[in-house]
Amino acid sequence: MRISTQAFQTRTLEMIQQKTAEIAKTQAQIASGERLTRAGDDPAAAARGVALDSALEQIARYQSSIGQVRERLIGEEAALDELTGVLNTVRELTIQGGGAAMDASTAQSLAEQLRAQIDAVYGIANRQDADGNALFAGTRQTGQAFAASGSGASYLGDAQTRSIRIGPNQSLADGHTGGDVFMAVPAAMAVTAAAGNTGTASLGQLAVDTAASPAGLPWSVRFEAGNWTVADEGGNTLGSGVYTPGESFTVDGVTLGFDDQPADGDSFAVLPGGQQDVFATLDQIAGALAAFDGSSASRAQLTTALYRGLDNVESATKHVIDLRASVGNGLQTLDRAEDSHEGVAVELMGTLSDLRDVDIAEAASRLSLQITALEAAQQTLVRMQGLSLFRLL
């Protein structure tokens, strides 16, 4: 087949245009650092890149959520640490209040110090996050979670926690509610002295068999003519015997012991376990110290009240420690989720780089070859244009 000079020149021009376009594309890739300067360069790779971008954006949202939850959990952890310190101080003051040498003036001083600790607990309970919202108000957007009233503490938050998505099929609560931390504190079985007691008897021992299920609580323990009698809330006698100071007796799995001498008609109430808020626990201890007038009967009242108070403080301390452990577990969960997201993000970015980023060395070598091919085509065209029969005449 014969090819005319015109056709050959046309083909050469087309080749020059093609090489020029290839050079421009390669130069654009080198300048931008991206292999895909437009979707048409590699539609499949472009679509894959969009999917990877979406996955990375989702990871970024998860990481942002992790940061928000971590901030609140760290704030709660600090608050619980302070609360533990307050409860330890309360414990020390309560033990001081049970000292044999304490007088009414010292008791009043201790009561005032306890009131100050109650104020400190309110301060902790109303701690705010970075946005000015109460840390322990649940999902309610409010600056105050608790308010003091004549009848005790009032919780202003709700019972819900925010469950934040921190990964695929993984959510985590961003903290505990004020009800969980300050109100729902386990309280053991307790003994209280009747306000009208005139004797010097006070609680010395209270123990409950783990297998026991005492019924009919609250009970009354009444002393008459050197004997004790335990009756349930319906007045039915559960047990009785001769009273000996310092010796214990057991009724329905509950062991009770009293020190010193009760007056005839003195009585005590045995209350069931349940829950008692931290504010009420501290207020009861402070109230018992404030009511102490230095008399033997008043000391007996105070001793029984402080016995109960110490039990509740110990229970509250354990409760807070358990919550701190829960917060610590939450922070560890966040760390693991964050590390996992970072690892996945690195892999995705590596894949995305392979799809989009240009290999500079390869591109430079390719550009050199393309320029050489273009120059060769240009030289061929020049030679073609110089060919003529007139040069042979």
In a domain, 86, yes or no: yes
Indicate whether 56 and 151 sit together in one domain. yes
Angle between helices 104-125 and 278-291 (to 10 degrees): 160
Indicate whether 133 and 202 sit together in one domain. no
Tell me: the pLDDT tens digits for 113-134? 999 999 999 999 999 998 899 9
Give every CB contact of residue 205 below 8 A, 6+ residues apart in sequence. 248, 255, 256, 257
* Residue pair 285/222 in contact by the 8 Å Cβ criterion: no
Would the CA dihedral through 32, 37, 43, 47 be positive or negative? positive
What is the pTM for the complete model shown?
Answer: 0.80
Indicate whether 182 and 290 sit together in one domain. yes
Final residue belonging to a domain, choices 272, 297, 323:
272
In a domain, 66, yes or no: yes
Indicate whether 304 and 257 sit together in one domain. no
In a domain, 160, yes or no: yes
Indicate whether 216 and 298 sit together in one domain. no
**3-class secondary structure, 142:** coil
Indicate whether 267 and 278 sit together in one domain. no
In a domain, 390, yes or no: no
In a domain, 387, yes or no: no
Strand partners, 147: 154
Indicate whether 46 and 90 sit together in one domain. yes
Indicate whether 254 and 325 sit together in one domain. no
CA of residue 298 relative to chain centroid, distance:
44
Nearest to 190 by CA among 174, 173, 208: 208
In a domain, 389, yes or no: no
Residues in the chain: 393
- d(Cα 222, Cα 322) in Å, to the nearest integer? 38
Tell me: the pLDDT tens digits for 348-360? 888 877 676 665 6
Final residue belonging to a domain, choices 257, 272, 287:
272
Give every CB contact of residue 77 below 8 A, 6+ residues apart in sequence. 324, 327, 328, 331
- d(Cα 346, Cα 342) in Å, to the nearest integer? 6
* Residue pair 297/200 in contact by the 8 Å Cβ criterion: yes
Apex CA 29: angle with CA 25 and CA 31, to 5°? Answer: 115
Indicate whether 268 and 348 sit together in one domain. no
- d(Cα 188, Cα 281) in Å, to the nearest integer? 12
pLDDT at 203 over 80: yes
Task: Give the domain range for residue 322.
Answer: 34-187+274-357
Percent of the chain surpassing pLDDT 70: 82
User: Look-up: residue for tokens 């060919």?
Assistant: 387
* Residue pair 175/72 in contact by the 8 Å Cβ criterion: yes
Indicate whether 211 and 140 sit together in one domain. no
- Angstrom CA distances, 182 to 80, 137, 195, 275, stand at 10, 11, 28, 10
Tell me: the pLDDT tens digits for 153-196? 999 999 999 999 999 999 999 999 999 999 999 998 999 999 99
Tell me: the pLDDT tens digits for 272-286? 999 999 999 999 999
Indicate whether 258 and 312 sit together in one domain. no
The DSSP-derived string for 120-140 is HHHHHHT-B-TTS-BTTSTT-
Would the CA dihedral through 201, 207, 211, 216 be positive or negative? positive
How far apart are the two ends of the chain, measured CA to CA in Å?
28
Indicate whether 239 and 134 sit together in one domain. no
In a domain, 110, yes or no: yes
Tell me: the pLDDT tens digits for 298-344? 999 999 999 999 999 999 999 999 999 999 999 999 999 999 999 99
- Say which CATH number the domain at 167 has: 1.20.1330.10
Final residue belonging to a domain, choices 223, 242, 272:
272
H-state helical runs in the chain: 5-32, 43-97, 104-125, 178, 278-291, 296-356, 360-386
- Tally the domains of the chain: 2
In a domain, 231, yes or no: yes
Give every CB contact of residue 312 below 8 A, 6+ residues apart in sequence. 185, 187, 188, 190, 276, 281, 284
